[in-house]
Amino acid sequence: MIHSDLIAKICAAAPVIPVLTIDRVEDAQPLARALIAGGLPALEITLRTDAALEAIAAIAEVEGAMVGVGTLLTPAQVQDAKAAGAIFGVSPGATPSLIAAALEFDLALLPGAATATEAMRLLEQGFTFQKFFPAEAAGGALALGSMAGPLPQITFCPTGGVTPENAKTYLALPNTLCVGGSWIAPKALVATGAWDEITQIARRAASLLQ
C-alpha cells in the first residue's frame, strides 16, 4: 500500500520536517520531546550514524512523535527501519527494489525526485507525495514551482539546501506542503543538551506559515 493518506498527514503536521542525524542514542528522546514541544512532531532520522536505528526505536516510544527514517537506499534498510518502529521513510531518489521493499514491509514512503520525468515515473506508481531533492541544487523554488502547472497531482516536500531564509518561498508554492530542514537541531546544541534552545528554533519553524 502506498499510504498516501499517512504521508499527507505527516507532511501537514507542521511546515517543517526536521532532518536529524543522531550520534548518541541517549540524545534521541530528549531531542524528540524538544522538537514536539516546539510544534514539530514529524521527525526524519537519517541512516548516517551507527545510532540511527536505536534512536528511531527510542523516539517511537515518545508520545506525539511521528518518527520516520531518512536516506533510505536499500531494501534491507527499509526492513530494519520498519522493525525499529519507523512509520514512514524518505529516500533521496527511488529504485524499483526500494519501492518494492516499502510495499512489502508496509512502510509509507516519500520517494525523491529531481526532475519532471522522475516525478512522472513515481506518479505512475501511485506516489502523489514526493520529496524534491536536492532542492536548491536542482533549481530551487523556481524549478519546483514550474512543475505545479503540468503536474498538479503531485505535492512535494523540498529538502536539500532549505534554510530559514528560503523556506517561506518554498512553502508559498501551490505544490509544496512542507519542507525538510536540517537546521532545526544544530549539532552543537544537541551535544550540550540545549533542549530549550532547540524548542525555540522549532517554534520559529512551526510558525513559518503564519
Residues acting as catalytic residues? 44, 131
CA–CA dist 57, 20 (Å, integer) = 14
- What are the C-alpha distances in Å from 59 to residues 7, 36, 40, 55? 18, 11, 13, 6
Per DSSP, the residues of 17-80 read: EEEE--S-GGGHHHHHHHHHHTT--EEEEES-STTHHHHHHHHTTSTT-EEEEES--SHHHHHH
Helix (H, G, I), strand (E, B) or coil at 46: strand
Asked whether 14 and 178 are in contact (CB, 8 A), the reply is yes
**C-alpha to C-alpha distance for 72 and 64, rounded to whole angstroms:** 23
**Cα 65 to Cα 98: distance, rounded to the nearest angstrom:** 25
Nearest to 27 by CA among 187, 182, 181: 187
Q: In 3-state terms, what secondary structure has residue 131?
A: strand
